[in-house]
Copies of this chain bind each other. A is one copy, B any other.
């Protein structure tokens, strides 16, 4: 498998050793890697060509916290209190979805992600029908880590969305067997929803499974004050303190939100090498708060970005999350905080690192996950300052082509697989009954 991205007007490399920006480049891909780069027309090459004249090549966006399974609930649960949001909309919604509906929802969500230049996600499915999500991921060619959501605390979880501990874990191991490593792009994560919905037995087993199979753990913590109170009532500890006590933290642990940090939490995250998955739109929309990301970065904590789920965003747009990650800190930390370069790397390289992927850089030898953008439109010119252009003035709709693992998954804004129109029609019939 070969492809030449011909005549890229500019390239943002994220390189630490070479130039951060290159101009007038051909990028030659072979199998799933970047093979060679050089000034347009100077490299020997025979094979398929994608004309990238006028476009800017960037490492594909990495979104480390996504709920594809919630796509059917977009635009249906807005401007409501958080507990209502979860208990009146999201949990009942998830519990009602059939396998076919999950497949359909995941297809729509993935299409949005690829059209917006996202090439890798860490996803949290619901407790049932996780195969359907993996099926949609497989056909799309997105690089993705997903996992069956685990909820086993009978005293707290709604009866329609709870399992016994053993069968929840058994299903996770079956998913690992079926999907982990499939097509070179898919991985399974261990996915306990959050400390509130899980018994300590389950949480400990999650840590054990993660170690046994060397898998990412994906969970939520310290998203909002009521949740933290629930964890303290239940365990006697702060939220991250509890996770630390039970041996849950570590370099494979990916924790969404961390909006409300307690004093020792900085050290807990840093020392354990756990990763914070920052979701600015979701934290605003659900009134959770503003995560203290500038201090996290100062402390050397790993922070990457995600859109969370369609019902709490309501987009899955990595460009929107970059823009917000930069903007929301400035009133509190000044206009120079969270500069465009920092945020751009957070949305690409830092996400790839959190997920253990050799992506996030456009350099020979790296994974060929690349988005090609039109930065020459009336809303983003002048675009010579690339970081500013990408973070503050570029939109998902500016993405023209997307390559994942060397394979073209979006060309001229159109998916290269499946039948988007038919899926959209089916999805709207299924989920768009007039309110």
Contact = CB atoms under 8 A, between A and B. Distances in A.
B381 A327 contact: no
A112 interface: yes
Interface in A67-90: 72, 74-76, 78-82, 85
Among A116, A290, A377, A396, residue most surrounded by chain B Cβ atoms (within 10 Å): A377
A381 B330 contact: no
A376 interface: yes
A397 B379 CA distance: 10
A428 B376 contact: yes
Interface string A272-302: 0000000001011111111000000000000
Given A72-B382, A287-B330, A435-B385, A81 B316 contact: no
A154 B376 CA distance: 39
Contacts of A324: 327
Contacts of A81: 334-336
Interface string A306-321: 0000100111110000
A327 B315 CA distance: 13
Contacts of A432: 381-384
Given A79-B339, A339-B79, A376-B424, A381 B331 contact: no
Interface in A336-385: 336, 338-340, 376-385
Interface string A55-76: 0000000000000000010111
A287 B335 contact: yes
A241 to B, nearest CB: 24
Given A78-B340, A286-B335, A336-B80, A111 B385 contact: no
A420 interface: yes
A176 interface: no
A123 to B, nearest CB: 16
Interface stretch (A36-44, A262-270, A387-395, A401-409): A387-395
B111 A316 contact: no
Contacts of A115: 378-379
A108 B376 CA distance: 11
Contact of A75 (B313, B334, B339, B382): B382
Interface string A149-186: 00000000000000000000000000000000000000
A434 interface: yes
A378 B335 contact: no
A1 interface: no
Nearest to A73: B382
B381 A431 contact: yes
Given A79-B340, A384-B75, A395-B397, A378 B108 contact: yes
Contacts of A315: 379-380, 392-393, 395
Interface residues of A, number: 71
A396 B379 contact: yes
Contacts of A427: 381-382
A328 interface: yes
A422 interface: no
B382 A74 contact: yes
Contacts of A333: 287
Nearest to A338: B79
A85 B336 CA distance: 11
Interface in A227-273: none
A85 B335 CA distance: 10
Contacts of A383: 75, 432
Given A75-B385, A314-B380, 13 more contacts: A74-B380, A74-B382, A75-B382, A75-B392, A76-B384, A78-B340, A112-B379, A116-B379, A287-B334, A313-B392, A314-B388, A328-B328, A382-B432
Interface of A: 23, 72, 74-76, 78-82, 85, 108-109, 111-112, 115-116, 281, 283-290, 310, 313-317, 324, 326-328, 330-331, 333-336, 338-340, 376-385, 388-389, 392-393, 395-397, 420, 424, 427-428, 431-435
6 contacts: A78-B339, A78-B340, A315-B379, A317-B379, A381-B431, A384-B435
